[in-house]
Amino acid sequence: MNVATADDDRREHGALGSREAEEQALVEALRRGDEAAFTALIDRYHGSLVRLALMHVPNRQAAEDAAQETWMAVVRGIERFEGRSSLRTWLFRILLNRAKAKGVAERRQVPVSSLDGSDGDDDAVDPSRFFDQSSRWAGFWSTPPQPWDEIPEDRLLGKEVRTLIEEAVAALPRAQREVITLRDIRGLTTAEVCAVLDLSEGNHRVLLHRARTKVRARLEAYLTPTKGSHP
């Protein structure tokens, strides 16, 4: 298992108890018709729902419509919510169903995401950065990723880097884009992402690894330019 992924999983389990208690209190408030609780839920997730819907529908209006339909479904269905999944997993699954249906209704071709993690695209990392099969170090890095320890924090957190990350994520194949958006940007757990996207844990790991690797490659090219060039 990748060390970073193992650390992610440990953090997930550590926060699970408090999150479940908070969610149960929220569900009970929603069932009581607490408008403040419903408003807080919308404030927390509406933007995320719209951005996820945009992966399946042709324009922002259609994405907003899908999000609005999701909120109506929550109002109508909260009494039947049994807690078999987390509230946000349920929320994102409703949204995806609405968005996919809208995409089909608008006669857009919705490509079927490959579940083997390949997406039909190129290698996540340029093969030339590894020793070839003729070397005793075949499969190991010949040109490893550059460390960023000496890069000023304000540059790493700057607007240009944030924009670059957004562009890199937007350029990913959709299956990878969905996984990294839910996992790293929206903060869902591995189990929640698998439930929302109907993925096995193995497929989730492959897609997330590919997505993170491609985004890192874009950042690496920007943050560690070749000699004589300027970012």
CA-based nearest residue to 23, from 171, 188, 144: 188
Task: Among 35-39, 105-109, 223-227, name the most confident range.
Answer: 35-39
Give the three-class secondary structure for 130: strand
Mean pLDDT over 78-86 rounds to: 88
Q: Is the pTM value of this prediction over 0.75? A: no
Tell me the C-alpha distance between 133 and 150, whole Å: 33
Q: Which of 103-112, 185-194, 206-215 has the lowest mean pLDDT?
A: 103-112
Q: For residue 111, with 0-12 CB atoms within 10 Å meaning exposed, 13-18 middle and 19 or more buried, which class applies?
A: exposed
pLDDT band at 102 (very low <50, low <70, confident <90, very high): confident
Tell me the C-alpha distance between 30 and 158, whole Å: 38
pLDDT band at 227 (very low <50, low <70, confident <90, very high): very low
pLDDT band at 217 (very low <50, low <70, confident <90, very high): confident
On the question of pLDDT at 151 being above 60, the answer is: no
CA distance to 2, 41, 85, 99, 196, per residue, from 73 (Å): 38, 14, 16, 13, 16
pLDDT of amino acid 122: 52
CA-based nearest residue to 175, from 230, 105, 113: 113
- CA Rg value for the chain: 20
Give the three-class secondary structure for 141: strand
Mean pLDDT over 89-107 rounds to: 86
Residues near 224 by beta carbon (within 8 Å), at least 6 away in sequence: 146, 148
Mean pLDDT over 147-171 rounds to: 69
pLDDT of amino acid 213: 87
